Amino acid sequence: GQNIDQPTEMTATEGAIVQINCTYQTSGFNGLFWYQQHAGEAPTFLSYNVLDGLEEKGRFSSFLSRSKGYSYLLLKELQMKDSASYLCAVRPFDDKIIFGKGTRLHILP
Amino acid sequence: EAQVTQNPRYLITVTGKKLTVTCSQNMNHEYMSWYRQDPGLGLRQIYYSMNVEVTDKGDVPEGYKVSRKEKRNFPLILESPSPNQTSLYFCASSLTSGSGYEQYFGPGTRLTVT
Instruction: State whether B99 and A99 contact (CB < 8 Å).
Output: no
Out of A45, A91, A99, closest to residue B43 by CB: A99
Probe site for chain A from B27, B43, B88 (most A CB atoms < 10 A): B43
Question: CB-based contacts of A72: which residues, under 8 Å, 6+ apart?
Answer: A19, A20, A21, A22, A62, A63
Using a CB-CB cut-off of 8 Å, the residues of chain B touching A43 are 43, 90, 103, 105
SS3 readout for B71-87: CCECCEEECCCCHHHCE
**Chain A interface includes B50 (CB < 8 A):** yes
User: What are the E-state strand segments in chain A?
Assistant: 3-5, 9-13, 18-25, 32-37, 44-49, 53-57, 60-65, 70-75, 84-90, 98-99, 103-108
Q: How many CA atoms lie within 13 A of B56 on its CB side?
A: 11
At residue B1, does pLDDT exceed 80? Answer: yes
Give the model's confidence band at A93: pLDDT under 50 very low, under 70 low, under 90 confident, else very high. confident
Work out the angle at residue B42's Cα, subtended by the Cα atoms of residues A38 and B88, and round it to the nearest 5 degrees: 70
Average pLDDT (A9-16) is: 97
Average pLDDT (A57-63) is: 96
Average pLDDT (A83-100) is: 90
Instruction: State whether B43 and A48 contact (CB < 8 Å).
Output: no
Task: Note whether A49 and A35 are within 8 A (CB).
Answer: no
Distance CA(A89)–CA(B33), nearest Å, equals 14
Average pLDDT score over chain A: 95
What percentage of chain A reaches a pLDDT higher than 70? 99
Average pLDDT (B75-95) is: 97
Task: Note whether A24 and A69 are within 8 A (CB).
Answer: yes
Give the model's confidence band at B94: pLDDT under 50 very low, under 70 low, under 90 confident, else very high. very high
Distance CA(A1)–CA(B90), nearest Å, equals 24
What pLDDT score does B96 carry?
A: 79
Q: What share of chain B is helix, strand, coil (3-state, %, to 5)?
A: 5, 50, 45
Task: Note whether B92 and B33 are within 8 A (CB).
Answer: yes
